[in-house]
Amino acid sequence: MDRNYEYSNVEYVAMLDAYVRSGFNMNQARILYAQPENLNHLRAQGIAEPQIPAPNTFLAVRQRLLNHGQLRTPAHAQARGRPHYAAELEEDIIEYFERHPMRSTRMAARRFAVSQYYVWKILNSEGLHPFHFRKVHALYENDGPARIAFCQWILEHQNVNVLWTDESTFTRVGLYNQHNEHFWAFNNPHCIRESCHQVRFSVNVWAGIINDSIIGPYFIEGNLNGLNYLEMLREVIPNLMEDVPIAYLRDIFYQHDGCPAHYRLEVRRHLDEEFGDHWIGRGGPVAWPPRSPDLTPMDFFLWSQVKRLVFTEEAQTRDELRQKIIRAFETVKRDRDTLRKLKDNLVRRAHICIQPYRLPVKEHRERKTQDEKELEKRKLEIQERFRTKTGLLIDRDA
């Protein structure tokens, strides 16, 4: 296509017709425009050699018609170098995302026949930002009271020493997020990453955290069950606790979750003998709320940090995987500043967890009404700002 070619009004009308028939799809509109019957129709109207426009041209013609009421760009808009859209369009875009907050800027650009950059500009000017969803553990309907009770216990016992414990399985493949994995190069090197191995292996690991000290790792042979867990409590964990400062062992609470191995009767009896009423778990003096990985630093901190270090490269053998786990634990143990912040982080999580339940129904309704009033006030401010902007544009054009 010749860049210096000037289209006639007849050609612009044909572009709009093809754009509408294509369902406002630029590439499909170009295909319809290039059909022999359409080109013959243009020749019959005096266009000797019809040119096939670029896909963006179809969108530009529609924008000019919407913004300026004519097929060609007016002189005042050419001088500014950029298209100027009606203030009402900006208000419509913001209202569109208020109704559909999960829609993409690409969809909005197609919906309003503007560029994606323009949509981003409008959203940023209003202080709107795209936020990612976070995966959270699914809760049952009756989990709330148990979580609230445990969070209240955390807030009432902030000065006690809690030994948080947990087990985790490390596999050969580990974690791999293809969306975040890139290889920068001038040409495509066709990088690959092996997966779905026939030879698979895994390692089960026990570990614990007390204040700013990490206990372990301890590698569990085979699968965890009540018998080998009881043996760990009697023989292994006391030896691992020898390097813990004595001050941390005073008024200590032992915590584990509610997996079947932890709930074995012999295990609970042993914990009653060793810790009395100072242990947390299913069926214990302090009940552990099920499905609450967000309330233990083992889940919201330790395992994610260790696995991030372990799975940078794939292990080829079980022994190599063990060594990588040991090195990862040593790295995390050296980060004392972060470990000291875990207790404050847990307290903050407990506050957040019980906050909604502190408000009675009446206060919830009042807060909802207040939020609705704030939203309506914001809409009025946006409309007033657009009216002012429209008035300035009219004065400037005049």
pLDDT, average across residues 255-265: 93
Assign domain 144-357 one CATH number from 3.30.420.10, 2.40.10.220, 3.30.420.40, 3.30.830.10: 3.30.420.10
Please report the beta strands in the chain, taking only residues with DSSP state E, as ranges in sequence order: 161-171, 202-210, 213-220, 252-255, 279-281, 286-287
4 band by pLDDT with thresholds 50, 70 and 90: low
Q: What is the DSSP string of 128-191?
A: -------------TT-HHHHHHHHHHHHHTTTSEEEEEEEEEEESS----GGG-----SS----
Q: Does the pLDDT of residue 168 top 60, yes or no?
A: yes
Each domain of the chain, given as residue ranges in start order, spans 9-125, 144-357, 368-398
Contact 93, 122 (CB under 8 A): yes
Which of 47-61, 220-234, 289-303, 361-375 comes out lowest in average pLDDT? 361-375
- 231 residue type, one letter: E
DSSP letter assigned to residue 302: I
pLDDT of 151 strictly over 90 = yes
Give the pLDDT score at 372.
64
Q: Which amino acid is at 396?
A: R
Tally of CB atoms within 10 A around 240: 16
- Calculate mean pLDDT across residues 234-239: 92
Backbone angles phi and psi of 97, in degrees to 5: -80, -25
pLDDT of residue 398: 44
Sign of the Cα torsion 137, 294, 339, 330 reads: negative
Residue 395 is predicted with a pLDDT of 46
Q: Which has more confidence, 84 or 253? A: 253
**Cut 0.85: pTM above it:** no
Mean pLDDT of 181-190: 69
Burial 139-160 (b: 16+ CB within 10 A, else e): eeeeeeebbbebbeebeeeeee
Could you give the CA distance from residue 57 to residue 64 in angstroms, rounded to a whole number? 10
Give φ, ψ of 287 to 5 degrees: -75, 135
At 276 the three-state DSSP class reads: coil
